Amino acid sequence: MPRKVILDVDPGIDDAVAVAMALFDPRLEVLAVTASGGNVAPEQATANLQALVGILDPPRLPRLGAAPTDTSWPAKPFNMHGADGLGGIDLPRARLHGGHASEKVIWETFHAHPREVTFVALAPLTNLSRVLARDPAIVEVVGEVVVAGGTAHGVGNATPAVDFNFYCDPQAARHVVREPMAKTLVPLDTTGHVTFGFDLLEQLPRESSRAGAILRAMLPHAFRAHRQLLGSEGISLHDVVALVAVTNPELFERSTVAADVETGGELTAGMLVVDRRTVRQWRPNLDLLTACDTAAVKDCILRGLAAAGAGT
């Protein structure tokens, strides 16, 4: 049976790649894709999501959620994704059916399939935190939460100690981490081990496919941004690796830990803190994916991209 999932995204080049892969993966039943601010402003995130799904035109159209606009975001240290979040490819706006708020879509999807849905958080945890705040009892019907975020060893990409998703909304990250539900965290340390060189561009789906046209337009910007801003000739697709952790969990090493998120401090707001004391004082509350088979994960990603192209 396909695994029922909600994808929560802030598209974002790597979010867009993950969405394209998930929508055509027969192992996943994507019930909903919800937007959040983060890589781009909330309005842009919603527009990007609607345009992506509209162009990809998957065989089963998921429900779409609009990003909340009544939120504030910290200044981004740098922009890896271009003005529109998708490498400046200027996708045509395509307003699709629905138009409900992400919170509403998430709440209704969990209740429609009690304890069956995996929430895949590839964005700041704002949407899930807001759902939990409005209805704390919803933890009883959540299946699992898989989060792309945090740093296991304190080496961040938004600040020296904090990854981008937790940096955007530290309070939401703490809220979700503290909730009593099954959680798996795919930290920056682990996703960053999987990198691609320029040869990735030659292995993308053909340009005549809808997925191939989008991927071939977006990913060259990712290589330019990594080179110009990070001095790296390769790229990391953090959110895509987190998606592979959902479809192929056997490729990752897992450790159950006791963790929390710091919400204050000029340098540490959003920092994941793991209790590593000899005599641990905190109770274990999540699974941390500490390493992965990088070659196998890369192969999964390439096969997922090929499937997306074949499906369009």
- CA triplet 82, 147, 177: central angle to 5 degrees? 125
Q: How many CB atoms lie within 10 A of CB 2?
A: 11
Please list the active-site residues.
238
| H-helix segments, 135-181 | 164-168, 170-178
**Beta carbons within 8 Å of 275's beta carbon, 6+ residues apart:** 257, 258, 259, 260, 281, 282
Instruction: Give the residues across from 231 on adjacent strands.
Output: none
Q: What is d(CA 133, CA 136) in angstroms, rounded to the nearest whole number?
A: 6
Which DSSP helix (H) or strand (E) runs through 256?
strand 252-257
Q: How far is CA 236 from the centre of its chain?
A: 13
**Beta carbons within 8 Å of 131's beta carbon, 6+ residues apart:** 103, 106, 107, 110, 138
- Looking at residue 291, its amino acid is A
